Amino acid sequence: MKISSKTPKQRVNLTHRKEWNEMVELRGKFIFLTCSLMGLYKTKQEEADQIVKEKTGKGFKDLDPEGWYDLEIYRAVVEKYREASISKDRAYTTLGQKIYPTVHATVGLPKHLLESPLEFLKFEAEGYLENVRGDGIIPRKFLKVEEGEVIVQAINPDIIDKTVEGVFMGIMDLCQVKNYKVEKLEDSTYRITWSK
């Protein structure tokens, strides 16, 4: 099934996501974050660091946080994170949940985002395009936007797709929303509902 948008360049065959690896890059801060979160699992952290060194010539702590790195590196590091976790596949969601709280704790986020889940979800859409680039990267498509409910199509490369539900959950947690639900619908579409 193809999802079409305004330009032919943005068409993506969702059944071929696993092939999105040669021309996609993401910022080094996500590799650093994932490796850092493995601190309790030293063996897996060392294995992940070795992968980073083999691919970049640097350890994860030496990566440029704003530099661009091949998605293949991130994929391998996330898989080490999953292997280290006792929750296995649930680790993808947990990792996603930690992204924005870690950003907030390290460099901070504007206060207005923390007060408005709706604005934060829009911010996430912009941030995605600022932090992931390459062939097949498609902007978030908001299908419904209103206070208390957002439906967004979030087509991502495979490994990022595994974490995006957690990213949305982490946003709700940061906004201190106690009553929310993130549902994955079809075609990489998510319904996020909340009430304060």
Output the tens digit of pLDDT for each of the chain's 196 residues: 233 333 333 334 444 444 544 589 999 999 999 999 999 999 999 999 999 999 999 999 999 999 999 999 999 999 999 999 999 999 999 999 999 999 999 889 999 999 999 999 999 999 999 999 998 899 999 999 999 999 999 999 999 999 999 999 999 999 999 999 999 999 899 999 999 7
DSSP label at 139?
Answer: -
Distance CA 117, CA 119 (A): 6
Give bridge partners of residue 132 from the DSSP assignment. 26
Tokens of residue 80, six digits: 């080490």
Distance CA 192, CA 149 (A): 6
At 123, which amino acid appears?
A: F
Q: Report the phi/psi class of residue 67: left, alpha or beta, with left for phi > 0 and alpha for psi in -120 to 50.
A: beta
What's the per-residue H, E or C state across 52-88?
Answer: HHHHHCCCHHHCCCCCEEEHHHHHHHHHHHHHHCCCC
DSSP label at 180?
Answer: E
pTM greater than the 0.85 cutoff: yes
